[in-house]
Amino acid sequence: MVEMNGIERRAAVHAALGERVRLAIVDHLLLGDATPGELGAALGVPSNLLAHHLRVLAEAGVIDRTRSEADRRRTYVRLAPGALDALAPAAWVRAVAASRVVFVCTRNSARSQLAAALWTRRSPVPAASAGTHPGPRVHRRAIAVAHRHGLVLHGHGTRHVHDVVGAGDLVVAVCDNAYEELDPKPRLHWSVPDPIGAGTGAAFESAFTEIASRVDRLTAAVRPRDGETVPE
């Protein structure tokens, strides 16, 4: 692919979004990731036509694909980081009502903890985190990367998802394993690679950066449920 300069990239993004199905795909992906099958079912688009639209969006740098860490046969489609920085899709103003936002990963030792801490700093809506198979403690590198960004994570306090999630919670799975294991499926899914697998500071920093970008998008859309107040 030929490298595009700034204005060419913006023009390509606008051109790619100048079609109603592709715009609907982007709106659907704004707050969470989806498989092509989930996109087709949600939008009522046949697989051959969906493949064409996904190819156009990928060539414009709007979306990318990741392999599921739980099932390598499964592919998730997600918005490319920074792809919509100069745009304002309709979904930005589409409010999601929630009593609380609960971030879930497998061990509740890194990604979900970081997401909840970031959320608490950026939104008045309460947040919590949990795991499908909680580990004994928060990973030391997650604590370190949080500290570098002015957040505090405690080394203990991992919890099981069944002990945390309640009625009115907006559940966000921040890893493929949790998303594919939970039934019913969480409302939103973020296919964030597990930094513990790589075990490096760079991997944790990359996970933090991606989660921060997604938290920023979601905080713009979430409001308290009617009749509920948020903590001062």
Is residue 88 pLDDT above 70, yes or no? Answer: no
The model's confidence at residue 9, banded by pLDDT at 50, 70 and 90, is confident
Is the pTM higher than 0.85? The answer reads no
The model's confidence at residue 4, banded by pLDDT at 50, 70 and 90, is low
Query: Would you say the C-alpha torsion 127, 192, 223, 36 has a positive or negative sign?
Result: negative
Q: What is the pLDDT of residue 211?
A: 97
Q: What is the pLDDT of residue 140?
A: 95
The 10s digit of each residue's pLDDT in 141-195 is 999 999 999 998 987 789 999 999 999 999 999 999 999 999 999 999 999 999 9
Q: What is the pLDDT of residue 225?
A: 79
Is residue 93 pLDDT above 80, yes or no? Answer: no
Q: Tokens for 142, please give them.
A: 């997650």
Q: What is the 3-state secondary structure (H, E, C) of 82-137?
A: CCCCCCCCHHHHCCEEECEEEEEECCCCCHHHHHHHHHHHHCCCCEEEEECCCCCC
Is residue 18 pLDDT above 60, yes or no? Answer: yes
Q: What is the pLDDT of residue 92?
A: 45
